[in-house]
Amino acid sequence: MKGLIAAILLCVSSVCWGATEYLRPTADATQSGVGCTATTNGSSSSMSAVYSGKSGNGPTGSSAKLPSESYSGSSYYSERVFTTWQTGHTESATTLYISANLSTQAGTGSGCIYYSTNSGSTWTLITTNVATTQTTYSVVITGANLANLEVSVSEKAVTSGATVQMTVYDIWTAGTYTASTSHTYTWLLSYLDEQIWRMEYPWRREWM
């Protein structure tokens, strides 16, 4: 009987539950030819504020902007790619989130978001019409290797007099994985051991 209870305790001593982790890119660079392309690709600089120092779920802290692009005899665009995701667990479900908005003035412009799960070999469209108010876009990417995940954000000014600027607040993935922890119930085992000892040898109670 002691052996049976010990086996039961071993079975329940490892507690498992579903946990969620939030991971972000750790690098960004100038990109061209993926999203809102136009005649001329304007210069862009680091947008590390999108991901640096952030944790948890949802847009928090600072944001970053693509450079303001204006139509000047030809259509202009800027594009940035986010790569090198943080390392996490093996996830059973994963969703990618991008929070952004586009400001336009005196003309027509657009903002585009694409993602790739094969390090940029192919790209999948999320939207070519980023909203003028802050909006969070999401797509399920369960089964994707985050080491190969990339996100492209871009803007373009396409008509005379147009000025556009895209703001990115946050980019992250939310993934579900199985977490576990082990507990040794020494106090419970000791208590049960004593009770079994008493049941097997009831006459010893007189000694207690």
193: in domain = no
- For the entire predicted model, the pTM comes to 0.78
Strands of the chain, DSSP E: 14-23, 25-30, 40-41, 64-65, 69-70, 76-85, 93-105, 109-116, 124-127, 135-140, 150-157, 163-182
113: in domain = yes
204: in domain = no
3-state helix, strand, coil in the chain (%, to 5): 20, 45, 40
* Domain count for the chain: 1
The tokens of 99 are what?
Answer: 């929070």
Domain that holds residue 165: 18-181
Separation of alpha carbons 161 and 97, rounded Å: 32
2: in domain = no
**Residue 6: closest CA among 205, 203, 207, 186:** 186
pLDDT digits (tens, 9 = 90+) for 22-77: 999 999 999 999 988 888 888 889 999 999 999 999 998 899 999 998 887 778 89
Question: CATH number, domain at 86?
Answer: 2.60.120
Lowest mean pLDDT among 45-49, 176-180, 192-196: 192-196
190: in domain = no
60: in domain = yes
108: in domain = yes
195: in domain = no
